[in-house]
Amino acid sequence: MTVIDESAPVKSVKAKHGGPSQLDPVGQQTHRALAAIPTWVLWGLVVVWTIPSVGLLVNSFRPKSQQLSSGWWTAITDPSFTLDNYRQAMFDMPGGYVSFGKALLNSFAIAIPATVVPILIAAAAAYAFAWMPFKGRSWLFIAVVAMMAIPLQMALVPLLQLYSGGAHMTLFGQTFTIFPDLNLNNKPIAVWLTHTAFGLPLAIFLLHNYISSLPGDVFEAATIDGANHFGIFWRIVLPLCKPALAAFAIFQFLWVWNDYLVALIFLAGNKDASPLTIQLVNLVTSKGSGTELLPSAAFISMIVPLIIFFSMQRYFVRGLLAGSVKG
């Protein structure tokens, strides 16, 4: 688990770029020029890294005829841009595709509950693991954290069977229903439940780290004032661990938003509820009408993550790095 301390002081810039003072003027100039080389190389690489994304962005604004006949870089010499791709992709998809405006809503409808539910459940559990004595606490905590090691592929087949058929057991010729057939497949709730289960081990681990480091005297004082665990959790712990909640919320939201596999398995049969990733791949693989809308559609799917990325980078980095071990 790596903790990025963004407040760490940056080492003196002067020492890096100032150059030794005992050199003569020409020597100092050469030294300054040499010191600028890393900056140039770095920004050259940044350009290389960004070119693919810029290509998509430029293409998303080019009219159909141009997109299909020439590459996006010709927009430099022959600029001609339109918002029509975005209008069509959002509201008016041709060829029987669900519009990406609808898919955007579907993604929100999946990602918001799949973020909020695990946070609430995990916060309660993390508080109990940190501050409530009970039998079997430590081994249960280890078991929960160890589940981070399970690749999500390990759970998909049985969950699919569980959601559409329930679980039954036959003992002595009698069949018992352990879990009823709720017919959840191809409904968003199947995706929520799955993401909730997958998100919990990491959420509990992160929040436990944070909550267990809160000062114990605060709780003692509250207990003396007559508060019980429920009151302490609700009024003190939840407000205090906002930074940890935010970091995990951003990680989990983006994970669910960008997820393709879980949605593909539990929701791909229901076009009207499918999130952006599913609709995008449908558009890619069809290679038929509407390919000119692919760049704008792809960009629509990236807008929300990019806004989160650029506006909440600190939390984003913290959440992403802490969560990079997720299964």
Partner 1 sequence: MSSLISTIVNVGVALAVLVGLFVLVNLGVNKLSQKWEDRLRPWVFVGPAVVFLFIGLFVPAVRTIYLSFRSGLSGEKGFTLDNYWGTSSTPGALRDENVLSFNGFTHIFTSRLFIIGVLIAILALFAARRAARKATGSGSGVDLSSPGASLGLVIAVILVLFAAFTAMRGVIWNNLWWVAAVTGLATLFGLGLAVLADRSRNETAAKTMIFMPMAISMVGAAIIWSYMYNIESSGQSPGLLNALLSGLGRDQVDFLRSADIIPWNNFFIMIIMIWIQTGFAMVVLSAAIKSVPSELVEAAKVDGANDVQVFWKITLPQIIPTLIVVITTLIVSVMKVFDLVKATTNGNFDTDVLANRMYTNLRNGDFTASSTFAVIILVLVLPVMWFNFRRGKREVSR
Q: Any contact of residue 137 with partner 1 (CB under 8 A)?
A: yes
d(CA 218, CA 241): 14
DSSP of 216-259 = HHHHHHHHHTT--HHHHIIIIIHHHTHHHHHHHHHHHHHHHHH-
59 binds partner 1 (CB under 8 A): yes
Task: Give the residue with the Cβ less far from partner 1, 72 or 97.
Answer: 72
Token pair 């909020």 in the structure block, residue: 116
Site string for partner 1, 107-126 (x = CB under 8 A): -xx--xx--xx--xxx-xx-
Report the nearest approach of partner 1 to the CB of residue 169 (Å). 12
Smallest distance from partner 1 to CB 215, Å: 20
The reply to whether 198 sits near partner 1 by the rule CB under 8 A is: yes
Q: How many residues bind partner 1 (CB under 8 A)?
A: 121
Give the residue, chosen from 196, 210, 249, 251, that forms a contact with partner 1 under the rule CB under 8 A: 196
CA distance readout (Å), 200 to 78, 107, 157, 195, 252: 51, 20, 19, 8, 10
d(CA 268, CA 227): 48
Which of positions 39-58 make contact with partner 1 (CB under 8 A)? 39, 41-43, 45-46, 49-53, 55-56
**In this complex, which beta carbon is closest to partner 1, that of residue 1 or of residue 83?**
1
Backbone angles phi, psi at 168, to 5 degrees: -130, 155
User: Residues 269-308: x/- map of binding to partner 1 (CB under 8 A)?
Assistant: -------xx--xx--xx-----x--xx--x--xx--xx-x
Least distance to partner 1 from the beta carbon of 56, Å? 5
Contact 167, 177 (CB under 8 A): yes
DSSP 95-146: TTPPPHHHHHHHHHHHHHHHHHHHHHHHHHHHHHHHH---TTHHHHHHHHHH
H or E segment and range at residue 171: strand 167-171
Site for partner 1 in 18-37 (CB under 8 A): 35
Smallest separation (angstroms) from partner 1 to the CB of 231? 9
Which residues, in sequence order, are CB contacts of 214 under 8 Å at separation 6+? 130, 237, 240, 241
Site for partner 1 in 155-174 (CB under 8 A): 155-162
Q: Per rule CB under 8 A, is residue 68 in the interface with partner 1?
A: yes
Q: Is 152 in the site for partner 1 (CB under 8 A)?
A: yes
